[in-house]
Amino acid sequence: MLNKLIPRDEQFFDLFDEIARRLSTAAKLQKELFSDPSRIAEHVAAIKKVEHEADGLTHEVITKINKSFITPFDREDIHELASHLDDVIDLIDGTARRAVMFRVTTLREPAKKLADVICRAADALEQAVVAVKKPKVVIEKGQEVKMLEEEGDAIYHEAVGRLFDGGEDPIEVMRWKEIYDTLERTLDQCEDVANVLESIALKNA
């Protein structure tokens, strides 16, 4: 009865939409980075800006959890969703920083393909976040993300295998193995976000 009398703080949904939008933006910038390494500094700076914005929004969510009397769903779920979304953006930022540190100047097709898969996964997550009150849509988009994670795994395994076929400069092997690893972890984290969203949608259906 008390929950019906006291309005829930619906601003959480707006904040999640904003974080998810930053995720899509960061993923698109990462795709551009691996499509045109000649503009790497520009893309890395843009990704860092988006990452800072996402950090601020995530902090706002955490602060609001402590201040709101009634939340639209469990506080633990709110915290987990915000943190997991932010983690994906952090990993994208981490990949961009590695590209700078490792002096990436050439295009490698597997990195481009993985960045594209991440971009599609980020778009699906954004759609799921916007539709978090619609379990059917959330589950559909969650399945899409899981299929994309499997697609990314196949690209990753083939790319890493080729690094160790022989003939590669050992420094190049180390450089690209680390980049491929971070891209693959980003996709794993996208799947974690999808699982959290599915859990929230089903519990609050």
Task: Provide the residue type at 20 as one letter.
Answer: A
Length of the chain: 205
Helix axes 75-101, 170-203, angle to 10 degrees: 160
What interhelical angle do 11-35 and 109-130 show, nearest 10? Answer: 170
Domains for the chain: give ranges and CATH numbers: 9-203 (1.20.58.220)
DSSP 8-state symbol, 88: H
The phi, psi pair for 167, rounded to 5°, reads 100, -20
Joined together, the tokens standing for residue 171 give 């420094």
- Cβ-in-10-Å burial (0-12, 13-18, 19+) of 167 comes to exposed
- Please list the pLDDT of the chain residue by residue as tens digits (205 residues): 333 333 355 688 889 999 999 999 999 999 999 998 888 999 999 999 999 999 999 999 988 877 765 666 778 888 899 999 999 999 999 999 999 999 888 889 999 999 999 999 999 999 999 998 899 999 999 999 999 999 999 999 999 999 998 778 888 899 999 999 999 999 999 999 999 999 988 887 6
